Amino acid sequence: MAMLEIDDINKSFGGLQAITDLNLKVNEGEIVSVIGPNGAGKTTLFNLITGVYKPDVGDIRFEGNSITGLKPDQIVDRGIARTFQNLRLFTNLTVLENVLIPQHHKLKSTWFSAVFRTPGYLRREQQMREQALEKLSFFGPRLMSFRLYQPVYVLSYANRRRTEMARAMATGAKLLLLDEPSAGMNPKETAEITQIIKRMRDEGGYTILLVEHKMNLVSEISDRVVVLDYGQKIAEGDYQDVVNDPKVIEAYLGKKAEGDEAQNDQLTEGDGRTS
Amino acid sequence: MLDTQKRHRNTILNFAAIGVLIVFLLIIDGIGSVKLEQAFALFAIWGIAAVSLNLINGTTGILSLGHHGFMLIGGYITALLILSSESRARIANSARSQMNEFTLGLSIKNWFEALGLNALATDDTLWLRFIVAIVIGGIISMIFGLIVGIPSLRLRGDYLAIVTFGFGEIIRLLASTRLFAPFTNGSLGFSGVPSEFGKSLWWTFGFLAITVFVMAKLKYSSYGRALQGIREDEIAAEAMGVNLAYHKVLAFAISAFFAGIAGGLWVSWLATARLDVFLFTLTFFFLVAVSVGGTGSVTGVLIGTALVVFVRQYGDPLEESYTLWQWLLAGGVLLLAAAVATLIYRNIRRLRPRLNASIYIVVGLGIIALLIGLFAASGGQLQSEYRAFGMRAIILSALLVIIMIFKPDGILGQAEFNWAWLFRERKDQPTDEERAQDAWLTGPELSKRLEAAETREASAETAGESSEAN
Ligand SMILES: Nc1ncnc2c1ncn2[C@@H]1O[C@H](COP(=O)(O)OP(=O)(O)OP(=O)(O)O)[C@@H](O)[C@H]1O
Ligand SMILES: [Mg+2]
């Protein structure tokens, strides 16, 4: 049984069919990349898995149990967490607080014992802190020491991306959905984040589903690549097989014929950009 | 200093501060000025209300305008439960009374007597009955808080603000309907509510201390962080596992509990419970306190409350009648002061030109007003008297506008006064070592150049060594 099983989901926004009959399986310990042109429905897929939207039809199962129709916080409880393409950090709070909040849902203490700082609560608070530091240390020393106490709004863009990844890890989820983790990063930072994602799987034991436009990142870490176009899965498999698939080339080059030149670059070189 | 040492130091300083506060209150008590004591007691009572409103508005980021409704519930319940037998008899004998046998019998004193606890039903133990009454008031107010919290699950922003505002008004209207008039004595309300608690510095500051303690500890707990997460970004908070429904309702419930407590003290301070002491203006005062002091900051809100209470209690001279020339003088001085303040502001912000047309106009108007006021004072028209009703509210509104323009976060912003801040201990500033490491991490170009320089040095050294060896 796969960890995440998506069965024939559909999602439309008014007249726009954003996801059509999509099937997807993610096995434990895998790194699966979802690629596709802009507007292909990649983020919508993430929103469906994490409960931001409910699929019109179809079922999503996690570890064998259906999570369709659950609210986002319940899905986090089950063990799926995400990052956002456009960053949604708690901007006025510190880095440490940002990585503590995702652990709140596991807290058993009542608000009353939290206010009166019962020994049980203090122990949990200590554990949460250790967890937070452990997750932040994935990114080396740059988010540690004094940075812990800096509000997020002073961080650089790359550091915000890192904080968001640490925040998703801190939820205690087993499956992480990363929406363009390297967006806005320079080549050196991208190379580094590639290694970190690998380590997240190898050392952290996370299963990872990610959306990316930078093909060098995708080719380096993906066990499997899924290509979406107009909400449909048009290819799935090894990176090499997928990029040589005529349908995929058409999806990207077809766009080029329509005048969008950036798409072709993405396939070959993988120039970083956000949208 | 080590972290544990700092913690010990802070604990000691906290106790010292409480000691100073107690001494301060003793001095105020000792001065024996009723007006001063009342002002301080009011500060504490409104402080409780403003700090509790801050939990919803500041910490959780939901604009709620129904705080006076919660206070009304707590206030009326407290008043009803501790009203003296004489007051009850007076109401019972009054032809306009709207109360009935049952509601007149709602008294903690009666309950204690029925339980055979006669020792607790004497005049000496009124304080105990007051505590019981105010806690019951708080709890019932909290239940209403739960009810009002429910729309907050579906509505956001302005829509929710309107609902909470409507709720506050509905409570006031309900209180005067046939259904609830027996509990509230309709529009007559209660007079002769025991006032020794609301007017006592010790009772009011005691409750304020509890409120501030709970709110501060809550803010810096996991729950407080979750609430702040909701304020920062609801979608992100939910995606990080925060149950929005539970936490929003929790914020409303805790806030309403303390608003109920504030209501109980408020009726005691006034010695009456009437519908017109729970108008929306009350919530407006607290909103000003929260916005001016610092949305989200408990200490900031207390500063804001102090300002509001000061204007309310000592603003009487603002609303007395003055002759026109006096008004002109005051206006002239204010205009000149505004011009000076603008100049200072423009200087600090380095805005150019330093003097712009509007400053000239303001200064000109100010001087004209002063001149007319001073030299034409004997003129007939200028001797007539004018009175500015509502000047206090105008001053508070103007204060709010000024703060919103120059410091939209309020005086303290979201920051909290604490000892580390006083000692300029900033954990978010790097040490030199950390700064160097950080530069290496964030500036690869720079570090590459540094490395190159180092290797050059090193090779020069080895070259030197080899030449020496030769
Ligand atoms: N809430 C919404 N309401 C209406 N349309 C939506 C909504 N969310 C997404 N869409 C539409 O669904 C389609 C898929 O959008 P989605 O954000 O999933 O694309 P994407 O693959 O993530 O693209 P990108 O690479 O630019 O991030 C787009 O046409 C988008 O306009
Ligand atoms: Mg997207």
Q: A158 C-alpha vs ligand 1 centroid, how far in Å?
A: 24
Domain ranges of chain A: 1-79+173-275, 90-172
Q: What is the pLDDT of residues B243-266, one digit of tens each?
A: 999 999 999 999 999 999 999 999
Which residue does chain B place closest to A168, by CA atoms? B240
Listed in sequence order, the residues at least 6 apart from A109 whose beta carbon sits closer than 8 Å to its beta carbon are A118, A120, A121, A124, B222
Q: Do A73 and B238 touch (CB under 8 A)?
A: yes
Bridge-partner residues for B191, per DSSP?
B272
Mean pLDDT by 10 residues, chain A (275 residues): 92 92 94 93 95 94 94 95 95 95 94 94 95 92 86 92 95 95 91 93 94 92 93 92 88 61 46 42
pLDDT at B115: 86
Task: Tell which residue, B466, B196, B437, B228, has the closest CA to residue A101.
Answer: B228
Nearest to B239 among A50, A124, A146 (CB): A50
Protein residue closest via CA to atom 8 of ligand 1:
A44
For the stretch B361-410, pLDDT in tens is 989 999 998 888 888 767 666 677 888 888 888 888 888 888 888 788 88
A39 C-beta closer than 6 A to ligand 1: yes
Q: Specify the pLDDT at position B60.
A: 92
Pairing between β-strand A4-13 and β-strand A57-62 as defined by DSSP bridges = antiparallel
Put simply, the answer to whether A93 touches B236 (Cβ < 8 Å) is: no
The answer to whether residue B249 neighbours chain A at the CB level (below 8 Å) is no
Taken in order of first residue, the domains within chain B and their CATH numbers are 32-314 (1.10.3470), 319-421 (no CATH)
Q: What is residue B181's predicted lDDT score, i.e. its pLDDT? A: 83
**Cα–Cα distance, B13 to B28 (Å, whole number):** 22
Residue closest via CA to ligand 1's atom 28 equals: A39
In tens, the pLDDT along B414-465 reads: 778 878 777 777 777 777 777 776 666 655 555 555 556 666 666 665 554 4
DSSP A13: E
Distance of CA A93 from the midpoint of ligand 1 (Å): 29
pLDDT (mean) for B152-169 = 84
- pLDDT of A113: 93
> Which pLDDT score is estimated for B450?
56
pLDDT for B282 equals: 92
Write down the pLDDT at residue A259.
47
Q: Give the residues across from A60 on adjacent strands.
A: A6
**pLDDT tens column, B99-158:** 887 888 788 888 888 888 888 878 888 899 999 999 999 999 999 999 888 887 777 778
* β-bridge mates for residue A26, sequence order: A4
First to last CA, chain B: 53
Contact indicator for A58, A24 with CB cutoff of 8 Å: no
Q: State the distance from the centre of ligand 1 to the C-alpha of A84, rounded, in angstroms.
A: 13
CA distances from B443 to A154, B4, B436, B457 (A): 17, 35, 10, 21
**How far apart, in whole angstroms, are the C-alpha atoms of residue B254 and residue B213?**
13
Report the residue count for chain A. Answer: 275
Neighbouring residues of B97: CB distance < 8 A, sequence distance ≥ 6: B91, B185, B188
The yes-or-no verdict on residue B468 having pLDDT over 50 is: no
Contact A71 B225 (CB under 8 A): no
Q: Provide mean pLDDT across the span B78-95.
A: 86
User: Which pLDDT belongs to residue A205?
Assistant: 93
Of A71, A101, A142, the CB nearest to B229: A101
On the question of pLDDT at B183 being above 90, the answer is: no
Predicted pLDDT of residue A190: 93
A116 interaction partners in chain B (CB closer than 8 Å): 217
Question: Which residue shows structure tokens 């380096």?
Answer: A220
What integer pLDDT is reported at residue A260 of this predicted model?
Answer: 47
Query: Percentage of residues in chain B with pLDDT exceeding 70?
Result: 91
Residues in chain A with CB shorter than 8 Å from the CB of B226 are: 101, 104
For chains A and B, count residue pairs whose Cβ atoms are closer than 8 Å: 126
Q: How many CB atoms sit inside 10 A of residue A106's CB?
A: 17
Q: List the shell of residues around ion ligand 2, using CB closer than 5 Å.
A: A 42-43, 85
Distance from CA of A49 to the nearest CA of B (A): 11
- Cα separation, B282 vs B54, in Å, equals 14
Per-residue pLDDT, A263 = 45
Provide the terminal-to-terminal Cα distance of chain A, rounded to the nearest Å. 35
pLDDT value at residue B309: 93
For position A265, what pLDDT does the model report? 47
- Of the candidates A197, A213, A186, the residue with the CA atom closest to the CA atom of residue A36: A213
Q: Which of B241, B414, B430 sits opposite A146 (nearest CB)?
A: B430
Which pLDDT score is estimated for A51?
94
Closest CA to A242 of A256, A225, A228, A254: A225
**Residue A16 near ligand 1, beta carbon < 6 Å:** yes
Question: Sign of the C-alpha dihedral, residues A40, A42, A48, A49?
Answer: positive
User: Quick one: pLDDT at residue B443?
Assistant: 56
What average pLDDT does this structure show over B197-209? 93
**Ligand 1 atom closest to the CA of A44, numbered from 1:** 18
Provide the pLDDT for residue B32.
Answer: 82
CB contact under 8 A, B225 and A72: no
Inter-chain residue contact B239 with A115, CB threshold 8 Å: no
CA A238 to centroid of ligand 2, rounded, Å: 22
pLDDT score recorded for residue B84: 87
For residue A16 the two structure tokens come to 């726009």
Q: What are the residues whose beta carbons fall under 8 Å from the beta carbon of A148, sequence distance 6 or more?
A: A94, A95, A96, A133, A136, B427
Residue B128 distance to chain A (closest CA, Å): 24
Distance, CA of B262 to CA of A250 (rounded, Å): 69
Give the global pTM: 0.86
Average pLDDT over chain B, rounded to whole? 85
Cβ of B218 and A111 within 8 Å? yes
The whole-angstrom distance between B17's CA and the closest CA on chain A is 20
Helix (H, G, I), strand (E, B) or coil at B180: coil
C-alpha to C-alpha distance for B49 and B277, rounded to whole angstroms? 14
CB contact under 8 A, A146 and B429: yes
**B429 contacts chain A (CB < 8 A):** yes
pLDDT by residue (tens digit) across B290-335? 999 888 899 999 999 999 999 888 888 888 888 888 888 888 998 9
Residue B377: the pLDDT is 67
Q: One-letter amino acid identity for A250? A: E
Asked if CATH classification 2.60.40.10 holds for the domain at A1-79+173-275, the reply, yes or no, is no
CB distance B438–A142 less than 8 Å? Answer: yes
Check: CB of residue A40 under 8 Å from CB of residue A231: yes
pLDDT in the model for residue B316: 81
